[in-house]
Amino acid sequence: MSPDSIVAALQLERIHKAFGSFVALQSIDLAIHPGEMVCFVGPSGCGKTTLLRVIAGLEAQTSGRVIQNGRDVSHAPPAARDYGIVFQSYALFPNLTIAANIAYGLVNRRKGRAEIAARVAELLALVGLPDAGPKYPGQLSGGQQQRIALARALATAPSLLLLDEPLSALDAKVRERLRGEIRALQRRLKVTTIMVTHDQEEALSMSDRVVVMRHGAIEQIGSPQDVYERPATPFVADFLGKVNVLQGVAVGAGRYRVGQADLELPVDGFAVGDPVRIYLRPEDRHIEGDLTQLPNRLSGRVDHIEYLGTVCMAEVACAQLGQPMVVSMSLNQLHDLGIREGGDLTFALRTDRVRVFGEPAAR
């Protein structure tokens, strides 16, 4: 069977949503494949949660279609759509035991008592809490409650799992552990999953594809590597991860003037004199070995070092550029090369991942 003949697990066609004069979503087109995990990411107010609510039927789109497994559910109520959902707040019933919380959807579907008990036990084992059934939500930690919320969402074996910022209320250590557990579980069950998150690290580490949103529209869709290394727009380049933005002018034949520096970059297509912005990640540099034969060699004074444990960020004042550059390095490189605040650092730009975008001339 060719990929083109596979029915999408979810198809969004020209989804538009307006609240009065405010447009929350504009012409969203997206196909999600069976078994895929997709993350919606973007700044607050970009429309990612509204889009998830439209998919769930909790919000009615102004226009457009939602098609799930070949069935048009655009106007179907939430109960008629085949999905499980996990909210940021967990939304567990505090007066019900953990077992009863997980069983809630199965009871509503009038499943038999033995079938429900077996399914609850299976799910408790699946999320690593086999003995939690008799307890109440208030007796569990936040991370444990989130696992139970996930188990409840999976209880009816939905074809689609929706996660609405499920880890944002947890502390960093628990969040990091749970994101690995959720991703491993999703892969094992092969359940099509959509997760909304504002956390870029979550989106990049957990998803098969990332949907970057801005002002109610999709800026870019791609694998985590695509959107990070090959951002399609200045917004995506600036939003995902840390980035240096160098303002310069094209001087022709893939050369750009930034301050007093003449940079040779593998990007062309700009007319001489065009103002540009050059986007480079802090890791896009060479700092070890013989740099004398490399193009785009720069040097400057290290004004500040941001210590992040295994990675350090050095802010380097480059007189040639007329603006500072942030250069990342490992902790070992920091020590081995004797890099310190107030000292000098020579480095060469690694340009294989550089992005150059034009910008309108100042009026």
DSSP assignment of 173-227 equals HHHHHHHHHHHHHHHHHT-EEEEEES-HHHHHHH-SEEEEEETTEEEEEE-HHHH
Paired with 194 in beta bridges are: 38, 162
Common-topology check for domains 3-238 and 242-358: no
Q: What is the pLDDT of residues 50-96, one digit of tens each?
A: 999 999 999 999 999 999 999 999 999 999 999 999 988 888 999 99
Q: What is the pLDDT of residues 17-39, one digit of tens each?
A: 999 999 999 999 999 999 999 99
Measured between alpha carbons, how far is 263 from 258 in angstroms, rounded to an integer?
A: 7
Given CATH 1.10.3720.10, say whether it is the number of domain 3-238.
no
pLDDT at 362: 47
Q: Is pLDDT at 360 greater than 90 in this prediction?
A: no
Q: For 96-122, what is the mean pLDDT?
A: 92
pTM beyond 0.85: yes
Measured between alpha carbons, how far is 313 from 339 in angstroms, rounded to an integer?
A: 11
Assign 162 to helix, strand or coil: strand
Q: For 150-178, what is the mean pLDDT?
A: 90
Inter-axis angle of helices 142-154 and 172-189, to 10 degrees?
20
Can you read off the two tokens belonging to residue 2?
Answer: 């060719």
* Average pLDDT along the chain: 92
Only one residue has tokens 């209880």, namely 155
Q: What is the pLDDT of residues 252-279, one digit of tens each?
A: 888 999 999 999 998 888 999 999 999 9
For the chain, give every domain's residue range.
3-238, 242-358
Top-level CATH class of 242-358?
Answer: mainly beta
Can you read off the two tokens belonging to residue 128?
Answer: 């690593």
Q: How many CB atoms lie within 10 A of CB 236?
A: 22
Can you read off the two tokens belonging to residue 190?
Answer: 């092969």
The dihedral over CA atoms of 227, 233, 236, 238, expressed in degrees to the nearest 10, equals: 130
Using 50, 70 and 90 to split pLDDT, how confident is the model at 4? Answer: low
Only one residue has tokens 């380097």, namely 316
Q: For 154-172, what is the mean pLDDT?
A: 90
